[in-house]
Amino acid sequence: MMEDRRNVYLYYKRNSEIEGQLNTIKEFAKNYGFNIVDHYKESNIIVSFGGDGSFLQAVRNTNFRQDCLYVGVATNRPNSLYSDFSLDDKDKIIEAISSEQLEVRKYPVLEVSVDGQSSFLCLNECSIRSGIIKTFVIDVWIDDQHFETFRGDGMLVSTPTGSTAYNKSVNGAVVDPKLPCLQVNELASLNNNKYRTLGSPFILSNERKLRLQIVQDGNDHPIIGIDNEALSIRHVKNIDFKLSEKVIKTVKLKDNSFWDKVKRTFL
């Protein structure tokens, strides 16, 4: 039950300016019966302060908690994709997280597994880029069927909420997070008589699985990014993707649909 959620963990990059502002927020929250906890494992509400980058970090560093509600508070610019509140909205935040009729928004999450061993979750995207000046080659498999052979700078696999991030910069479509799917996009593909790719982004249903197989031709040490972190794995062959059964839960406010957010961020 949402009304039982009372333990709040505040996630922020420590500096004296924000500490001062947060002291007021902490006092305010306590007066409304919330406990500010020191460790995220004790919380059931996680509030991130900063921008979208901070929200991504807050979710990653607290391990994509399924039993928590995540709340994004923008500190230095207008609200963004994941930050629904600004620092001045103290009353609005308290009202939203204490409301009995609280509506929860669920964001799909991508599951990435590298060579069948390590597995990671992403809220925005996983990017695979050549680690050297030369292009590299990737075989793309959909549901165990070979689809295309890519040669170029790299590929992106994005969630719907990640569709407005890196994916958008490479002309991918903006996707409604109510659609559980993942988007595959190219980074500068070579297209000639030898290499041919679809050349446009494509969207896969949550029932599909995708494999990117790095051709082992010497240039098989890509840089793999999960949201805003780089994986330290050096040598990679197969990267498998599917939509996770996990989701990230955030507060759903009135007049703040995904498309309202897209409008305020980009238009």
Tokens at 61, concatenated: 């560093």
Q: What DSSP line would sit under 19-86, residue for residue?
A: HHHHHHHHHHHHHTTPEEPSSGGG-SEEEEEESHHHHHHHHHHTT--SS-EEEEEESSSS--SS--EE
Q: Which residue in 80, 130, 183, 244 binds ligand NAP (CB under 6 A)?
A: 80
Residue 195 among known ligand-binding residues: no
Minimum Å gap between C-beta 264 and ligand NAP is: 11
Residue 48 among known ligand-binding residues: no
Tokens at 253, concatenated: 């406010």
Subset of 162-191 contacting ligand NAP (CB under 6 A): 162, 164-166, 169
Subset of 88-127 contacting ligand NAP (CB under 6 A): 124-125
What residues have CB less than 8 Å from 129, skipping those under 6 apart?
153, 154, 187, 222, 223, 225
Which pairing describes strands 223-226 and 103-114: parallel, antiparallel, or unpaired?
Answer: unpaired
CA pair distance 265, 187, nearest whole angstrom = 24
Residue 165 among known ligand-binding residues: yes
* Choices 3-11, 48-56, 94-102, 204-212 (CB under 6 A): range interacting with ligand NAP: 48-56
CA pair distance 251, 191, nearest whole angstrom = 44
Minimum Å gap between C-beta 12 and ligand NAP is: 13
Q: Which residue in 46, 51, 109, 130 binds ligand NAP (CB under 6 A)?
A: 51
Looking at the annotation, which residues are catalytic? 52
Q: Which is nearer to ligand NAP, 23 or 200 (CB)?
A: 200
Which pairing describes strands 181-189 and 229-230: parallel, antiparallel, or unpaired?
Answer: unpaired
Residues that bind ligand NAP (CB under 6 A): 51-53, 56, 80-81, 124-125, 161-162, 164-166, 169, 227-228
Which parts are annotated binding residues for NAD(+)?
Answer: 52-53, 124-125, 151, 153, 164-169, 188
